[in-house]
Amino acid sequence: MTGFTSDEMMTIAAARALKNDDVCFVGIGAPSAACNVARLTHAPDITLIYESGTIGTAPDVLPLSIGDGELCETAVTTVSVPEMFRYWLQGGRISVGFLGAAQLDRFGNINTTVIGDYHRPKVRLPGGGGAPEIASSCGEIFITMKQSKRGLVDKIDFFTSFGHGEGGHARERLGLRTKGPTLLITDLAIWKPDPETKEFTVTALHPGVTREAVQETCGWPVRFAPGLVETPAPTALELDTLRALRARTAAAHGGQEVA
């Protein structure tokens, strides 16, 4: 890639997926960066909601956690966590949930709990937090993460957040009326679920990325859409906005990288 990094391409491609009228439940890290780039560019009226109860927040820097004071200070209002989940989330008032993952399978099921056996894990992760409820109650789910065979796996080690289960109509059989994962944006490609099987399929390759590179960093046999296209490169506005946001964040947090 010329003039931008794969990480910048991932964040900007993820930001483009959001619409001006979206109400978005934002995860910390890469999802937060994408959502705020969208707010600062093409979607100024987007409503960003964080798990701590902040609604309509417009942070000048990326938050370190859902409890970061920047979120509350810039929010239109802050509600209690029970109200956030019961009224806003479970009430069907949030159109998009934007999540990350430690492990992800081909059907969009997410593990953020443990790597290895639950009782004797190799790594114990932060856990689900509100992600299981977000995955089941938001209108649709976008996922963003860097590709690797450790991350995109044939079988996740723990079922933290439900995507499309074993595929097909698994969500409907469980009584879930929301769409589930509809988009996966990685540092190499854009993926969408097959309409019937719900298996993630590559629909666009980022500039300079090959099919082989995508397969080499994925733990299952990758399917490519017949009409495979190239992701448009970042514009100067998108890059300047993302880089300025990260520079402000680094300065505010003493050089600590957030996303």
Q: Which position has the token pair 């992701």? A: 231
Cα–Cα distance measured from residue 137 to residue 89, given in angstroms and rounded to the nearest whole number: 6
Q: What string of DSSP letters covers 14-78?
A: HHHT--TT-EEEEPTTHHHHHHHHHHHTT-TT-EEE-TTSEES---SS--SSTT-HHHHHH-SEE
Query: Could you tell me the sign of the dihedral formed by the alpha carbons of 156, 158, 164, 168, in that order?
Result: positive
Query: Could you tell me the sign of the dihedral formed by the alpha carbons of 229, 2, 15, 255, in that order?
Result: positive
Contact 257, 7 (CB under 8 A): no
| Residue 81 backbone class (left: φ over 0; alpha: ψ -120 to 50; beta: rest) | alpha
Task: Give the residue among 41, 149, 163 at the shortest CA–CA distance from 97.
Answer: 163
Cα–Cα distance measured from residue 191 to residue 205, given in angstroms and rounded to the nearest whole number: 9
Kindly list the catalytic residues.
51
Residue 144 makes CB contacts below 8 A (sequence gap 6+) with: 10, 11, 14, 30, 31, 34, 98, 99, 100, 184, 185, 186
